[in-house]
Amino acid sequence: MSAPVAVPPAEPEPESDVRKDHINKIVLSDEVQRAIEQVLQSSDPLDHPDFDPTDYVNQLFPNEQSLSNIDDVITKMEVDIGLIDDNIRSVVRGQVNTGENGRMALREAQQSITQLFGLITDIKSRAEQTEDMVKEITRDIKQLDSAKNNLTYAITTLNHLHMLVGGVENLKRLAERRQYGEVLNPLQAIIEVNQHFQQYSEIPQIQTLSSQVQQIQTELATQITEDFRHFFAPSAGGGQGRMTITQLKDACQVVSVLDKPVKRNILKWYINLQLQEYIQLFHENQDIAWLDKIDKRYAWVKRHLLDFEEKYGAIFPQDWEISERITVQFCAITREELTKIMARRRTEMDVKLLLFAIQKTANFEQLLDKRFQGSTLTEMKTSAGGGEGSEDQKQPTFIDLIGQCFKAYLDIYTDSIDRSLAELIGQFVQQTPQQLLPKDGASVFPNCAELFVFYKKCMVQCTQLSNEKPMYDLTLIFKRYLREYSSKVLDARIPKLQSSSSGGSSTASSISNSMSLLTKDFQNLSTAAGQVIHNFLKEGEAPSMDDIRKICFVLATAEYCLETVQQLEDKLKEKIDKSYANRVDLSDEKDVFHRIISNCIGLLVQDLDTGCEQSLNLMTKISWHNISNVGDQSGFVNQIVTNLKQSVPVIRDNLATSRKYYTQFCHKFVNSFIPKYINTLYRLRPTTSTVGSSSMTTSASSSSIAEGTGTGTNSANASANPGGNILGCEQLLLDTHSLKTVLMDLPSIGSQVQRKPPASYTKVVVKGMAKAEMIIKVVMQPIYPATLYIEQYLKLLPESHVTEFHKILEMKSVRKIEQQQLVELYKRACPQQQQQGTGAGQHDGGGGGGDAAPLSQSQQAAASAAAAISGAGSSIIALGDSLMDKGRIKKIESLIKNRLPN
């Protein structure tokens, strides 16, 4: 296919034409262009804003053969141009017509507005005229309406006046006859009419009538009060002047219409009359008034209310609430009497008597709260100043209406709880180990649940008594006995694991005794050697599994206490009064249980460390530089694995409900064991020295060491065996890898269910054991040439320091002079911060050689025991060399192995 025909560039136009086109060119913004494209959707390339004429021509004529239809293309374009010109002309003409039409519409709108304004003005003037006409027409009607109202008011006033004058005389006559049923309606009417005439009080006749009405009300109040006293007085047996119940009922209706003080005085007198018997019967000097017979008080008022309602309940209106008023007054008198008698006889009160009185009182108050609505209490509260506008809108109840007198004596209750908890903790302390063992597969001491059940009962009981200061005092008691439980029960039950120092001394003495068997009797050689090793292993046993289980039980119990104490704190803050809520804080007690948990984990780690420490001490007594072949993992690895398989499954099973603390135990153990293992590596000498005679040492310079050159026989020896005997290092590398595998599987060791260890645990093990492997690999490297050795050292141990470099040189048995020269090269090669190795060396726990940290008593005892075994083995081998051949020695070794305890 031929290449497209390119359109030759046009000749440059004159400058004037270019400027003219530039002036007439219309540039649209991108936003306007997008709007046009949305309205006028077109696929014609001529409509695109980025239209390129050259590309368009090349698309029409892609090759020379396409030029044959150029006439058709030109014709089509001419037609399109004509259509576009027609559209432009029509649009221009339309725009001209649109402008003319708009001007005409504007003129018409202005004319319409002028006409509308004229119409509105005309309507407004007509409305004003109409209003004047209406006012003129209704002027006489208003006068007539005002006259009617005045006349109606005058007639009403005259009627009221007639009622007042006639009613006063009628009321006097009815009051004298005690016809209270007929007095009620006229009295209400006269009182209302009298209120109407108060505005005419300056008129003498009105004043006289008002005084007569007031006098009638006073006489009625006095007369009705006397009638009540005469009816209910004990002396009024059944005389002729005694009122009937119907008359008293009507009298009560009349009292309701009279002034409020009249009703209040009658009620006060009557209620006191009803409670006179109670006051005399339960006087503080009477035996029946004491707390042990408090239920008789409540029984008396129940009987009295029933008797009153049966005999006289129909007399008083229901809205008077006589029964409720009698009960409220009874509660007030009872509270005052109990307060006085308890203050006088406080020494006779005990917690049982107090709780008995509180319980009976609470039951009585709940009964009253269900029986009455509390309207009297609301009325008393309003009259005391707690009106409707007060902040406290809570409906008053009978709860604590009497019981509040006991709150001052609730310290007797809290003191009793204090004594009960002291006795309970004492019982826990005296419990035998069999009683403390968890039951039903649990891992928590049973007495822990007993303690918190007692706490719950006390909290519920105290909530019923008071949720203020007594509950706060109870919280302080709870705090004290939580600490007592943690110290006297949990801490006291943690087994005291024996330190390895005493065990080491006894081990050494036991081995010394066994050594005497070897020196005295060589005939039973295998038996004596077996007894030596058996005694050593027996003395080095870890604490019993029972002690480990006890520690796990204490840990699980402390965890249970920690969780329950948090729930207890939340519940106390919920129940206690808001003013004391911020003072409830059990964080110190939670810290105590946290400390117990940490202590238990530390003891478990210490126990497992002690068992592994003996194996690590035996590891230092092996002649690693004399190993001739690399076989299976060493015996000390087997001992460590055996120790882990014995202890860790027991710990895991007994911490099944405390998985997070079991994981924490595994973390702490590897963080303790791995540094000890690395420190033990520093004490080993797994390779033979590559240095020859002292003459070569004294003549060597730092440059010769750096270049790896020597003289005479020494150079030949170094080249023949540049790294010395490294079989010991290879065996150590194999043992380290085995330990790494065991530690990676430690959380699930001895378990049928294999779980993937946490990522954080795996990271610690991998990092620590990788360092141990790198140390061994560095020891395996030949020192010569020194620059290459230091380069390899920095690659394998990039975070090392000078102290560690010294320890590794000691492991390689490098002489002191060479060490100094190598250290100088190391300091020049490593960064400055790695030359300060004091802190890191202390962190590693010290190493071998001159930089080794002093051993503890347990380590010294174990080392002396191992040395005794090593000496015993040397004596056996020396004896075999002198008496038997090599095959005989093999038989003796196998015999000793067979006699070793499993």
Long-range contacts from 650-657, C-beta under 8 angstroms, 24+ separation: 650/545, 650/548, 650/549, 650/552, 651/548, 651/552, 651/604, 652/747, 652/751, 654/443, 654/548, 654/549, 654/552, 654/553, 654/556, 655/443, 655/552, 655/555, 655/556, 656/443, 657/443, 657/444, 657/556, 657/559
Instruction: Provide the pLDDT for residue 835.
Output: 53
How many Cβ atoms from other residues are within 10 Å of residue 175's Cβ? 20
Per-residue model confidence as pLDDT tens digits over 826-869:
888 876 545 554 444 444 433 333 333 343 444 444 444 434 43
- CA 566 to each of CA 46, 162, 467, 814: distance values in angstroms, whole numbers, following the listed order: 80, 82, 19, 60
Which tokens hold the place of 419? 């004594």
The 3-class SS string of 248-272 reads HHHHHHHHHHCCHHHHHHHHHHHHH
Per-residue model confidence as pLDDT tens digits over 491-509:
888 887 654 433 343 333 3
End-to-end, the C-alpha distance of the chain in Å comes to: 95
Contact 557, 448 (CB under 8 A): yes
Half-sphere exposure of 82 (CA within 13 A, CB side): 6
Dihedral (CA of 273, 274, 277, 280) sign: negative
What are the residues whose beta carbons fall under 8 Å from the beta carbon of 689, sequence distance 6 or more?
724, 812, 813, 814, 815
Which tokens hold the place of 107? 């003129």
- Rounded CA-CA distance 389/299 in Å is 38
Longest CA pairwise span in the chain (Å): 163
- Rounded CA-CA distance 157/161 in Å is 6
Which stretch of DSSP H or E encloses residue 247? helix 245-257
What are the residues whose beta carbons fall under 8 Å from the beta carbon of 479, sequence distance 6 or more?
586, 588, 589
Contact 369, 399 (CB under 8 A): yes
Which tokens hold the place of 809? 């040189």
Instruction: Specify the pTM.
Output: 0.63
Instruction: Provide the pLDDT for residue 260.
Output: 79
Contact 273, 232 (CB under 8 A): yes
Instruction: Provide the pLDDT for residue 497.
Output: 63
Question: Each residue of 347-360: b (16+ CB within 10 Å) or e?
Answer: eebebeebbebbbb
Long-range contacts from 707-714, C-beta under 8 angstroms, 24+ separation: 707/785, 708/784, 708/785, 708/786, 708/788, 710/784
Instruction: Provide the pLDDT for residue 725.
Output: 65
In eight-state DSSP terms, residue 68 is G
- Rounded CA-CA distance 476/473 in Å is 5
- Rounded CA-CA distance 684/864 in Å is 16
What are residue 268's phi and psi, to 5 degrees?
-60, -45
Looking up tokens 């004391």, which residue turns up? 580
- Overall residue count recorded for the chain in this entry: 902
- CA 476 to each of CA 98, 419, 482, 497: distance values in angstroms, whole numbers, following the listed order: 95, 14, 10, 34
- Rounded CA-CA distance 626/688 in Å is 8
- Rounded CA-CA distance 240/243 in Å is 8
- Rounded CA-CA distance 372/565 in Å is 42
For the chain, which residues score pLDDT lower than 50?
1-23, 236-240, 387-392, 499-542, 690-723, 833, 837-893, 895-902
